[in-house]
Amino acid sequence: MTQDELKALVGRAALEQVVAGHLVGVGTGSTVNHFIDALATIKDRFPGAVSSSLASTERLRRHGIPVFEANEVESLPVYIDGADEIDHRGYAIKGGGAALTREKIVADLAERFICIADESKLVDVLGRYPLPVEVITMALPQVARRFKALGGTAIVRQGVVTDNGHPLLDVRGLVIDDPAAMEAEINQWPGVVTVGIFGRHRASACLLGTAAGVRTLVF
């Protein structure tokens, strides 16, 4: 199976996680796009979605799925999203699609974050994928220097501005063996809007697309 077929497999499998009669939190990316397309087939069973990006909002609306603002909602039973890397404890790197801030906001509303990913995303230690960090423009050089002190090399993602109007850094060379601690540290740095480590908001479970079918990891 191709990587895209594995993404489609878990996108469809995630339908079972949608709680009938409740809003569903929807992430961003190519795996989630498969989920959204599958979601359209059961759209009469739930009132709508809370979206984590303009791109997902547009796709949901194209399918006729109502989209609610995060600030209209107090809680969600479940948030379904992909990841750039996920480890065996459910910690993840996210933000490859530049949607990390809204993704973390919607994940924060949810009782459970169910990650959907093809098997290439499962790693022992986070950090081979460059860590995305959304930053206020005037803080870019100082935040980059702070990453250098941690052993990382930060570069500005060219031609990309987030849905919130900010630039992104991609940081290579970090070994993230304590994701929650590193997330907490980076969150303290002035100018950091969101770091793409999902430590405090790690996944509750991951539906992993493998050649043998969907493997469910529960954390």
- Which are the catalytic amino acids? 103
Strand 24-26 relative to strand 49-51, pairing: parallel
- Kindly give, in sequence order, each residue whose CB lies less than 8 Å from that of residue 44, ignoring residues fewer than 6 positions away: none
Nearest Cα to 55, choosing from 81, 78, 74? 81
Distances from the Cα of 32 to the Cα of 11, 35, 36, angstroms: 6, 5, 6
- Please list the alpha-helical segments (H only) found in the chain: 3-13, 30-39, 54-62, 100-109, 140-149, 179-187
Cβ proximity to ligand 5RP, 29 vs 152, nearer residue: 29
Distances from the Cα of 126 to the Cα of 36, 81, 117, 130, 180, angstroms: 27, 17, 15, 9, 11
Give CA angle at 51 (70, 107), nearest 5°.
70
Could you tell me the smallest distance in angstroms from the CB atom of residue 63 to ligand 5RP? 18
Could you tell me the smallest distance in angstroms from the CB atom of residue 187 to ligand 5RP? 17
Could you tell me the smallest distance in angstroms from the CB atom of residue 25 to ligand 5RP? 13
Cβ proximity to ligand 5RP, 83 vs 133, nearer residue: 83
| For the chain, counts of helices (H) and of strands (E) | 6, 14
Please return the burial class of 120, using the count of CB atoms within 10 Å of its CB with bins 0-12, 13-18 and 19+.
exposed
Residues at the contact surface with ligand 5RP, assessed by CB under 6 A: 27-31, 81-84, 94-100, 103
Could you tell me the smallest distance in angstroms from the CB atom of residue 97 to ligand 5RP? 3
Could you tell me the smallest distance in angstroms from the CB atom of residue 135 to ligand 5RP? 15
Cβ proximity to ligand 5RP, 20 vs 158, nearer residue: 158
Cβ proximity to ligand 5RP, 96 vs 199, nearer residue: 96
Cβ proximity to ligand 5RP, 113 vs 147, nearer residue: 113
**Backbone phi, psi, residue 43, to 5°:** -65, -15
